[in-house]
């Protein structure tokens, strides 16, 4: 109230509109799935949608063919629209947006029914969404997307750690083989020493023969003197005879 009023020189100078101005509804056709939810929820019944079904062949052999809806017509009668925004709020696939365009007046009321081509042109004038308030909650879509990304990153990190653990024993296999061969050599040497000790113990336990009873001495024939020498009993027997 302390400033003078300034007349905006429209249409030579375009007014600065708020970012959430409800000018006209724009259609992003690629996101529309012909769910008919916007047409059913519209309190003025000013949305007209026509579609047909097409069969999509199976992506893999032996799969089942699927059917999808194809949009034929999407029109809004702005002579009936009261700009409540219910159709934009209930659209589950973000196919409808508010555009700040407002210069679409017509001389004939029947020309206020705009088809999807005109609605698509208004889509390109939709401004970017405003920034969130500093204390506002993060959108649920971003939270879900971040959780999915963090889960995928954790799975990849776990897979890398498992691969590293599997590669580590392969790298230490030569050292393990060398240690195993050295242990086998030590075991064989210990076995040989044990066998040698057993043989020595067995040799010590065997009884030794006296030198006079050796086989060579017993096998030698007796000398003639030994054979001729009679015993003490032989002369008495000869005399008696």
DSSP 150-204: HHHHHHHHHHHHHHHHHHHHHHTHHHHHHHHHHHHHHHHHHHHHHHHHHHHHHHH
Look at residue 131 in the predicted model and tell me its pLDDT. Answer: 75
Low-confidence ranges of the chain (pLDDT < 70): 169-181, 183, 187, 204-241
Query: What pLDDT was estimated at residue 150?
Result: 93
User: What pLDDT score does 86 carry?
Assistant: 95
pLDDT at 48: 96
Rounded CA separation 113/110 (Å):
6
Q: What pTM value is reported for the model? A: 0.53
In the chain, the percentage of residues whose pLDDT exceeds 90 is 38
Task: Report residue 22 CA to chain centroid gap.
Answer: 45
pLDDT of residue 241: 41
Position 25 scores a pLDDT of: 94
- 145 torsion bin: left (phi>0), alpha (psi -120 to 50), beta (else): alpha
pLDDT digits 0-9 by tens, 175-208: 556 666 676 777 677 777 777 777 777 776 665 5
């Amino acid at each position: 109230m302390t400033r003078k009023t300034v007349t905006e020189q429209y249409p030579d100078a375009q007014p600065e509109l708020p970012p959430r101005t409800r000018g006209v509804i724009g259609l992003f056709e690629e996101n529309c799935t012909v769910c008919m939810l916007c047409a059913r929820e519209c309190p003025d019944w000013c949305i007209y949608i026509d579609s047909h079904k097409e069969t999509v062949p199976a992506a893999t052999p032996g799969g089942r063919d699927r059917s999808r809806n194809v949009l034929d017509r999407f029109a809004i009668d702005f002579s009936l629209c009261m700009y409540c925004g219910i159709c934009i709020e209930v659209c589950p696939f973000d196919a409808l947006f508010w555009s700040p365009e407002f210069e679409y007046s017509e001389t004939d009321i029947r020309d206020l029914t705009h088809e999807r081509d005109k609605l698509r042109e208004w889509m390109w004038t939709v401004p970017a969404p405003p920034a969130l308030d500093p204390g506002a909650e993060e959108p649920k879509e971003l939270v879900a997307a971040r959780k999915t990304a963090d889960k995928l990153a954790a799975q990849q990190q776990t897979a890398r750690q498992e691969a590293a653990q599997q590669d580590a024993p392969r790298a230490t296999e030569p050292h393990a083989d060398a240690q195993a061969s050295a242990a086998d050599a030590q075991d064989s040497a210990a076995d040989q020493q044990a066998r040698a000790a057993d043989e020595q113990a067995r040799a010590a336990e065997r009884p030794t023969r006296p030198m006079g009873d050796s086989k060579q001495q017993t096998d030698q024939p007796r000398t003639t003197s030994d054979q001729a020498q009679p015993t003490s009993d032989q002369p008495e027997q000869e005399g008696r005879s």
